[in-house]
Amino acid sequence: MAQHIGFYMDNIICVHWGTKYPVKFVNILYSMCKRNMTRRFNFYCLTDEPNNAFAERVKPIRIPDPQFDGWWNKMHLYDKRLEIEGNILYMDLDVVVINELDEFFTQYRDEDFLCIRDFGQPTTTINSSVLRYNLKHHSFIYDDYMNNKSLYDGMHGDQNVITDMMLRHEKTQILPDDWTYSFKWPERGQPQKYEKYLPKKHTLKKKAKICVFHGHPNPDYAMQYESGEWVKNYWK
């Protein structure tokens, strides 16, 4: 699994399973993180294909058995068998990193489970696109999921499971809203139609840390149009 290096480093992880996203999404995410971390960090990719053409500093970890379908493999993020020591920042592959990420590691305690409010239902749902956790403190999430898998698999996806387990958990801390935002719905709780020819609807928030692209469009599609032209300067 993960390689131990003798002392704790910051860790960033993503999940690449199946063929929904090309491997370049992993490598671009690493590149964005490298530009936006002043601290030393490990970059892991939890994947079903460890032999993919990942960038040199990307450390692939094979998804432990049993592997699940699609986004359900994100539940393995909390699997103690990953053996990753220290705090872990998880990001979906369809995000754009805009600013420095160091505060995800410096502003909170190790035992805090850090999450963001959902973009469509911010008062009732955790959005699982960006999370910071620590296997020493939060591997119970995987254990609980496996012990109650038949119940949880009736939910829509991993995001609903995390919401059910962690929204009101004593270790949960909600990250500041201005750290993250949705490209499609820049204001939380105000879903709107994606308008690729209307740049005023999908602007760059220069003070945010991460812009999340959930559903359609992905960053590579959005940046072909005027509303997402700014993405070219960051998603690389």
Q: Which two tokens stand for residue 38?
A: 């002043």
Instruction: Kindly state whether residue 206 falls inside one of the protein's structural domains.
Output: no
- What percentage of the chain carries pLDDT values higher than 70? 97
- Domain assignment present for residue 194? The answer is no
- For the cut 50, the answer to whether the pLDDT of residue 184 exceeds it is yes
Residue 180 to residues 14, 31, 81, 212: CA-CA distances in angstroms? 17, 19, 30, 7
Tell me whether residue 234 is in a domain.
no
What is the pLDDT, as a whole number, of residue 62? 97
Alpha carbons 27 and 33: distance in angstroms, whole number: 10
Q: Are 175 and 207 in contact (CB under 8 A)?
A: no
| Domain that includes residue 169, residue range | 10-93+101-180
Report whether pLDDT(132) > 80. yes
Mean pLDDT of 170-198: 97
Amino acid 5: pLDDT: 43
159 lies in a domain? yes
Residue 232 falls inside a structural domain: no
Burial class (CB in 10 A: 0-12, 13-18, 19+), 197: exposed
The answer to whether residue 148 is domain-embedded is: yes
Q: Is the peptide bond before 217 cis (omega within 30 degrees of 0)?
A: yes
CATH value at residue 111: 3.90.550.10
Residue 201 in any domain: the answer is: no
* Whether the predicted pLDDT of 6 surpasses 50: no
Among 116, 140, 113, 139, which residue's Cα sits nearest to residue 127? 116
Q: Answer yes or no: are the C-beta atoms of 139 and 78 closer than 8 Å.
A: yes
pTM: 0.95
> Partners of 131 in the beta sheet?
90, 115
The per-residue pLDDT of the chain, averaged, comes to 95
- pLDDT-derived band at 156 (thresholds 50, 70, 90) equals confident
Confidence of residue 2 (pLDDT cuts 50, 70, 90): low
**Structurally, how many domains does the chain consist of?**
1
* 89 within a domain of the structure (yes/no): yes
Residue 208 has pLDDT above 80, yes or no: yes
The torsion angles phi and psi of 123, rounded to 5 degrees, stand at -90, -15
